[in-house]
Amino acid sequence: MSPAIEDLFEAASAARALAHAPYSGFAVGAALRDETGAVHAGCNVENAAYPVGTCAEAGAIAAMVAGGGRRIRAILVLGAGSTLVTPCGACRQRIREFAEGATPVHVAGPEGLRRSFSLDELLPASFGPENLGDRR
Ligand code: THU
């Protein structure tokens, strides 16, 4: 793992250890690097009213925005199990709001990095802020 990815892995791992996932039992951590180089992390936060729960990526993005960051340069998602924990569809769109198509989305397990994608691979032909043009 490169040092840059290692930083994200460590931050995601620490956030995952704090996840509130009593219903699924599936703890997830996410960490991203913004345009200033700062790292922001989040974990999933479930709720007794199930649909109200939030994903780790949403937490990391909220932390970035609240910290003044506006661009995602790289993001890493960490979850256990034998299959890749890629971001859910809604989170792919959440990432899209702040990232380029070429932005790396790293997927890790507790043991380390498993695979890296570009956002474009995960969300092809996406709709983003540019689509709204002058209406913004
Ligand atoms: N989850 C995430 O936090 N991120 C993902 O990329 C996949 C799923 C959470 C949502 C829910 O709390 C639990 O994992 C099971 O779906």
Q: What distance in Å separates the CA atoms of residue 114 and residue 126, rounded to the nearest whole number?
A: 25
Most distant CA atoms of the chain, gap in Å: 46
> Ligand 1: distance of its center to the CA of 134 in Å?
35
Average pLDDT over residues 81-103: 98
**Angle in degrees, CA 122, 127, 44, rounded to 5:** 55
Residue found by looking up tokens 């932390």 in the block: 63
**For 40-55, what is each residue's pLDDT tens digit?**
999 999 999 999 999 9
> Ligand 1: distance of its center to the CA of 133 in Å?
32
Average pLDDT over residues 101-125: 98
pTM for the model: 0.96
Q: What distance in Å separates the CA atoms of residue 74 and residue 8, rounded to the nearest whole number?
A: 9
Q: How confident is the model at residue 83 (pLDDT cuts 50, 70, 90)?
A: very high
Q: Which of 16, 18, 24, 44 to mutate to test the pocket of ligand 1 (most atoms within 8 A of CB)?
A: 44
Domains along the chain with CATH numbers: 3-132 (3.40.140.10)
Handedness of CA 132, 73, 18, 90 (dihedral sign): positive
